């Protein structure tokens, strides 16, 4: 642990050390093993090339091995030391999207010190890079009217702790007086309530679809899905689901409906999440159909899909407007969705299951959100 701490400090403090070295009197000779200062001063990482390849660089003169792992799939890539203490590697070409990536320095995972775009997480060690498309993709910032992402801190009475939630309101919300349908959008294990806007680009996806007249103006509520410490033990998943459900139903929904102009009925309330959040959204949505008429899941983790269906649908009928879920064929959780679909078919419960290309990553989930939003509230009043 001591070695890891020293290594992390040496990597993260390089910019400050370089700035300090710039003020060193010229008569002072640098150490024999010191890397050229100019190489660090103009370090660019990541660098996106016209052919959509991406070069990653890291100043780590004392490292023995540096690797990069990213959401583009495949094995980790080894960086090469160019001889000046700067390690580099090029990947791609990559399809237009936003990719998370992390460096491993002698086994220690860190963010890219040269990149200010850090993915919001409970324990941040991932950076992000955007490879733009031509024409722009639905998740890109485009010259259209934009909504606002609000950050709320609140005290959860059900959990007895301080919590936070992010809320997207559509363009023109502040100047209008009407009420809006609302989507509750949940993240996966390790992320937090800021991840869907900062990395998932949920707000820009909604802006662009609205500008294209593919969706109605909506409010999107992005919650913190970690209601129990992930290190809380073997039954953490079930305990977290129960605690999160209580916080969502007793604290978050009342907060949203007392603060924003939302249509507070089931026909105008939807829920969907990814991975851990997909299990949460499907479980809560199916077990509380009095609150949600539109239910979805992406790459969902479900400990027992058949038990969920049996509990949620004691009778072979459903009053949902939409039950939609999707998963990539290369996703380790695809069997969870397959079992859910099979259990629903046994009960003759209408649903849409999309088994697509892709793995367990944000490029897949941004696409799913872009597909799910236009399906919502089409018959709601």
Cα separation, 82 vs 69, in Å, equals: 20
With a threshold of 0.75, does the pTM exceed it?
yes
> For the chain, what is the HEC assignment?
CHHHHHHHHHHHCHHHHHHHHHCCCCCCCCCCCCCCHHHHHCCCCCEECCCCCEEEEEECCCCCCEEEEECCCCCCEECEECCCCEEEEEECCCCCEEEEEEEEECCEEECCCCCCCECCECCCCCEEEEECCCCCCCCCCCCCCCCEEEEEEEEECCCCEEEEEEEEECCCHHHCCCCECEEEEECCCCECCCHHHHCCCHHHHHHHHHHCCCCCCCEEEECCCCCCCCCCCCCHHHHHHHHHHHHHHHHHHHHHHHHCCECCCHHHEEEEEECHHHHHHHHHHHHCCCCCCEEEEECCCCCCHHHHHHHHCCCCCCCCCEEEEEEECCCCCHHHHHHHHHHHHHCCCCCEEEEECCCCCHHHHHHHHHHHHHHCCCCCC
Q: pLDDT, tens digit, for every residue of 326-359? A: 999 999 999 999 999 999 999 999 999 999 999 9
Whole-number pLDDT of residue 179: 96
User: Taking each helix axis from N to C terminus, what angle separates 2-12 and 14-22, rounded to the nearest 10 degrees?
Assistant: 50
Task: Specify the domain boundaries for CATH 2.60.40.10 within the chain.
Answer: 2-131
- Contact present, 217 and 180 (Cβ < 8 Å): yes
Return the DSSP state at 121.
Answer: B
Whole-number pLDDT of residue 37: 45
Whole-number pLDDT of residue 71: 87
Q: Residue 379: which pLDDT band, with cuts at 50, 70 and 90?
A: confident
Whole-number pLDDT of residue 41: 55
- The label of the residue with tokens 């999107």 reads 220
**Range name among 3-12, 55-64, 238-247 with the lowest pLDDT average:** 3-12
Mean pLDDT of 13-32: 39
First to last CA, the chain: 58
Cα separation, 250 vs 276, in Å, equals: 20
Whole-number pLDDT of residue 210: 98
- Contact present, 278 and 237 (Cβ < 8 Å): no
pLDDT at 157 over 90: yes
Cα separation, 263 vs 282, in Å, equals: 21
According to the CATH classification, is domain 2-131 in 2.60.40.10? yes
Q: Residue 165: which pLDDT band, with cuts at 50, 70 and 90?
A: very high
Bigger pLDDT: 83 or 168? 168
- The label of the residue with tokens 């950076």 reads 127
Query: At 128, phi and psi to the nearest 5?
Result: -140, 150
Two structure tokens written together for 223: 């919650």
Task: Specify the domain boundaries for CATH 3.40.50.1820 within the chain.
Answer: 148-375
pLDDT at 254 over 60: yes
**Range name among 12-16, 354-358, 373-377 with the lowest pLDDT average:** 12-16
Cα separation, 167 vs 219, in Å, equals: 7
Residues 6+ apart with CB under 8 A from 121: 190, 191, 192, 195
Rounded to the nearest angstrom, the gap between the alpha carbon of residue 79 and the centroid of all alpha carbons in its chain is 26
- The label of the residue with tokens 């959860």 reads 156
Cβ burial 10-48 (10 Å sphere, 16+ → b, else e)? bbeebeeebeeeeeeeeeeeeeeeebebebbeebebbeb
Fold of 148-375: Rossmann fold (3.40.50)
Whole-number pLDDT of residue 36: 44
Bigger pLDDT: 28 or 285? 285
Average model confidence (pLDDT) for the chain?
88
User: Taking each helix axis from N to C terminus, what angle separates 334-346 and 305-312, rounded to the nearest 10 degrees?
Assistant: 40
């Amino acid at each position: 642990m001591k070695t890891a701490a020293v290594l992390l400090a040496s990597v993260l403090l390089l910019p400050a050390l370089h700035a300090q070295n710039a003020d060193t009197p010229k008569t002072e000779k640098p150490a024999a093993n010191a890397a050229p200062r100019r190489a660090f001063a103009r370090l660019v990482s990541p660098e996106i090339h016209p052919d959509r390849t991406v070069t990653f660089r890291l100043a780590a003169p004392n490292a023995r091995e540096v690797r990069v792992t990213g959401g583009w799939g495949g094995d980790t890539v080894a960086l090469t030391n160019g001889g000046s203490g700067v390690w580099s590697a090029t990947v791609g070409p990559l399809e237009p999207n936003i990719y998370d990536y992390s460096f491993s320095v002698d086994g220690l995972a860190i963010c890219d010190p040269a990149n200010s775009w850090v993915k919001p997480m409970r324990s941040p060690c991932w950076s992000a890079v955007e490879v733009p498309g031509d024409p722009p993709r639905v998740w890109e910032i485009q010259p259209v009217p934009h909504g606002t992402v609000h950050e709320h801190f609140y005290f959860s009475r059900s959990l007895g702790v301080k919590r936070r939630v992010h809320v997207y309101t559509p363009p023109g919300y502040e100047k209008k007086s009407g009420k809006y349908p609302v989507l509750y959008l949940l993240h996966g294990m390790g992320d937090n309530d800021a991840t869907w806007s900062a990395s998932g680009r949920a707000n820009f996806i909604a802006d662009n679809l609205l500008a294209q007249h593919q969706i109605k103006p909506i409010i999107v509520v992005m919650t913190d899905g970690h209601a129990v410490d992930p290190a809380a033990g073997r039954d953490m998943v079930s305990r977290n689901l129960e605690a999160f459900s209580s916080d969502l139903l007793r604290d978050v929904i009342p907060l949203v409906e007392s603060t924003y102009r939302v249509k507070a009925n089931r026909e105008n309330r939807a829920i969907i999440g990814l991975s851990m959040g997909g299990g949460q959204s499907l479980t809560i949505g199916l077990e509380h159909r009095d609150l949600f008429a539109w239910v979805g899941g992406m790459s969902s983790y479900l400990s027992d899909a058949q038990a969920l269906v049996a509990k949620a649908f004691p009778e072979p009928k459903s009053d949902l407007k939409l039950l939609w879920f999707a998963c990539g064929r290369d996703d380790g959780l695809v069997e969870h969705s397959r079992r859910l679909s099979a259990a629903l078919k046994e009960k003759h419960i209408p649903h849409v299951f999309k088994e697509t290309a892709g793995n367990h990553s944000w490029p897949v989930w941004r696409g799913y959100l872009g597909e799910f939003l236009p399906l919502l509230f089409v018959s709601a009043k």
